[in-house]
Amino acid sequence: MKIRNHFVVGLVSLLVLSGCSNGPSHTGAAAIVADETIAQQAVTSELKEVLDQITRSENQGQGTQAGKPDAGMLGQQIVNRLVLSKLIDRALANLKLTVTDAQVFEFQDGIYSQYGKDKVDAQLLLSQAIPASQVTNFFRLVLSEEAVAKKLAPQGSEEQSNAAFSKYLMTLADQSNISVSPRYGSWSSDQLKVTGFDNALSSAVPTE
């Protein structure tokens, strides 16, 4: 089973952009998905955890040749993942699907056994901004995506399954009226990610 990461990519700013917005109020919120709020505090907390882990790895001589990832890109990945998680939760509910803790732990243990826990966790941290506290939730997201795709195209090829999954999620995203705090740019249902990025000040970590 391949780890899906189709919609956890893009660029986003971590600082509040100047000007006013005519959209929903985002006071204390990084994003809103239908009637659910993704708290800015949650994004900030995850970002701090990611940066702390990367710093510890560097101090232990485990840094990568590519260097330390940009804080703006890390924050973008976190926001996109959290929005995607909300969408997938809504998809599971709509399709009456359930992913159990036992399934998640079995899948996670299988990945760890095959590739090694330290290597997997390090890869998720550096490539997708997933801190240690969120690794299990990421594996739950992967299994949930697989469950939705299988439900939508049970007899289809991988290509057909991915196409059905993407089409369904785009429709669901459009129906969910997703909005993102101006500090992160704007949400694109067609691309299933936040777009718009000002890298000039992206290294700062936002505060409440």
Question: What whole-number percentage of the chain has pLDDT above 90?
Answer: 58
The structure tokens listed for 95 are 């399709």
Contacts of 172 (CB under 8 A, 6+ apart): 87, 90, 91, 94
pLDDT of residue 172: 95
Alpha carbons 189 and 195: distance in angstroms, whole number? 10
Question: Mean of the per-residue pLDDT values for the chain?
Answer: 81
Asked whether residue 195 is domain-assigned, the answer is: yes
Asked whether residue 192 is domain-assigned, the answer is: yes
Asked whether residue 45 is domain-assigned, the answer is: yes
Asked whether residue 11 is domain-assigned, the answer is: no
Query: Is residue 194 scored above 50 in pLDDT?
Result: yes
Length of the chain: 208
The band of 1, judged by pLDDT with boundaries at 50, 70 and 90, is: very low
Alpha carbons 51 and 71: distance in angstroms, whole number? 8
Asked whether residue 140 is domain-assigned, the answer is: yes
Alpha carbons 15 and 94: distance in angstroms, whole number? 35
Asked whether residue 62 is domain-assigned, the answer is: yes
Asked whether residue 157 is domain-assigned, the answer is: yes
pLDDT, tens digit (0-9, with 9 covering 90-100), for 86-123: 999 999 999 999 999 999 999 999 999 999 999 999 99
pTM of the model: 0.78
Longest dimension (CA), the chain: 50
pLDDT, tens digit (0-9, with 9 covering 90-100), for 131-160: 999 999 999 999 999 999 999 999 989 999
Strand partners, 75: none
pLDDT of residue 4: 43
pLDDT of residue 203: 42
Domain count of the fold of the chain: 1
- Residue 141's domain comprises 29-201
CATH code, domain with 88: 1.10.4030
Phi, psi of 189 (to 5 degrees): -70, -30
DSSP 3-state of 37? strand
Asked whether residue 206 is domain-assigned, the answer is: no
